[in-house]
A = this chain, B = another copy of it.
Amino acid sequence: MLRLGPLAAAGRLLPAGPRLEPPRPAGGRVSFLRCWPPRLPGPVGDGRPLSQQVRAAADSAGGGGGRGLALKTPKGTRDHPPAHVALRDHLLAAVVACFKRHGAAAIDTPVLELRETLMGKYGEDTKLIYELQDQGGELLALRYDLTVPFARYLAMNKITNMKRYHVAKVYRRDSPATTRGRYREFYQCDFDIAGQCDPMIPDAECLKIVHEILSDLQLGDFLIKVNDRRILNGVFAICGVPESKFITTCSTVDKLDKVPWEEVKSEMVEEKGLSPEAADYIGEYVQLHGGLDLVERLLQDPKLSQNKLAKEGLGDMKLLFEYLTLFGITGQISFDLSLARGLDYYTGVIFEAVLLQQENDHVEEPVSVGSVAGGGRYDGLVGMFDPKGRKVPCVGVSIGIERIFSILEQRVKAEMLYKKDPKLLKQLQYCEDTGIPLAAIVGEQELTDGVVKLRDVARREEVDIPREKLVDEIRRRLEP
């Protein structure tokens, strides 16, 4: 029997459609059905494209509600049914195991922080902070990340050395894009090293950790982009950007992974007030990416090498690549000058991991999850909290477990269809129970004949389709 990715939930079919229990509603499992439309009114849906129907069904599971009451979770949040929690726990355990392997200890901090603790740390993203109503007493907000609370914790307890991890939920009033795994409440898994260390050793360890976790979880090919805020600032300086515009220019550069250079340039010129020449000059640099060779080349760049900050950053980048070479992970590392990262508090090395493609090519609508990990060095953040401004250098990484979850969630749909020795009846029962519309069945006879048996699950009707026509047939059936 072959598996055809999430569209296949099948086995060798008995000649007569077996008697099955009537399908149960799939209400509680909508989150597992992102690719699979839940049971629809008619046998082939209500005439809208499938993706719309799925969304509508998900909305109605979450919407409507009792006696005038909105029966839903807040926008951008979701419940996690047992299968979800089990997968998440499994995933978190793998991440935590890696953190522990690298010698970190867990801490926990409150979900609530004083509002003033969070202010002035996140740049433009400050507007995404959830604030609590003033009900008397302190003004509070929900934490936006785990990094600022960690810095507050270090300063408050006068800790100057610590390797800690923290796995907890954070809150952002962002535009949710739940199909891409972007929620307003989501888990972060942070690993940070605080304290004075020899240059680039903890930074290299953070990258090693990302590499280990993404490899362990078998998420397919990935790339870890690295850059350094000092290099970027050096580039801005030699291109004539005034220092006051460094951070805002950073935010614009950071969009290069989503929009083409032309758009980025026009934002620089029209919104950020840079001259077209400065923008073009920046463009020459920030479109560069490579490995150690690029670092070496930029170290020879007549202008950039004259800039103190850039030179420091490039020197450290070279050192970082040496450590990464020792770790044997440079194959997945790209020195990418377009990487800027939005947050204010980074001061040195920054990095971000992206998945390059879905492992499973048969997925029709691959979930684009964007970055799955990110982090960097923030040597000034703890000092912002210390009464005497004493700095504690820190570097850390955050694993975007929720986005990884979105990918694994899809896979699990396939995985969970099968027991070790699946009885066909059980598989078909599962198809009916969960509202899978079509099952593609490939047995020995089908292999010999070069066909696939396609079963309309709701109608319990089957027909042999030549393999080369299978995709078209499935598309045709799923269309309005």
Contact = CB atoms under 8 A, between A and B. Distances in A.
A61 interface: yes
A3 interface: no
Give this chain's copy count.
Answer: 2
A107 B135 contact: no
Contacts of A75: 137-138
Interface string A372-389: 000000000000111111
B111 A69 contact: no
Interface residues of A, number: 68
Nearest to A74: B112
Interface string A52-83: 00000000011011110111111101111110
A138 B185 CA distance: 15
B385 A66 contact: yes
Interface stretch (A39-47, A154-162, A338-346, A429-437): A154-162
A430 to B, nearest CB: 17
Given A113-B74, A387-B67, A135 B140 contact: no
B155 A79 contact: no
Given A66-B385, A133-B131, A173-B135, A85 B108 contact: yes
Contacts of A155: 66, 71
Interface centre among A67, A157, A169 (most CB of B within 10 A): A157
Contact of A389 (B66, B107, B130, B388): B66
A402 to B, nearest CB: 12
A471 interface: no
A133 B88 CA distance: 30
A311 interface: no
Interface in A214-245: none
A386 B164 contact: no
Interface string A8-25: 000000000000000001
Contacts of A82: 105-107, 164
B132 A61 contact: no
A69 B110 contact: no
A114 interface: yes
A80 B130 CA distance: 23
Contacts of A169: 111
A61 B389 contact: no
A158 to B, nearest CB: 5
Given A27-B157, A85-B106, A138-B74, A112 B67 contact: no
A74 B173 contact: no
A387 B64 contact: yes
A317 to B, nearest CB: 32
B73 A113 contact: yes
A152 interface: yes
A360 interface: no
A285 interface: no
B71 A152 contact: yes
A122 interface: no
Given A77-B110, A82-B164, 18 more contacts: A62-B156, A66-B385, A67-B387, A67-B389, A69-B385, A73-B109, A74-B113, A74-B140, A78-B110, A81-B107, A81-B157, A84-B108, A86-B105, A112-B171, A130-B133, A131-B135, A133-B134, A137-B173
19 contacts: A27-B157, A65-B385, A66-B385, A67-B389, A69-B116, A69-B117, A73-B109, A74-B110, A79-B109, A79-B153, A82-B106, A84-B108, A85-B105, A85-B108, A86-B106, A130-B133, A130-B140, A132-B132, A132-B142
Interface of A: 25, 27-28, 61-62, 64-67, 69-75, 77-82, 84-86, 88-89, 105-114, 116-117, 130-135, 137-138, 140, 142, 152-153, 155-159, 164, 169, 171, 173, 184-185, 384-389
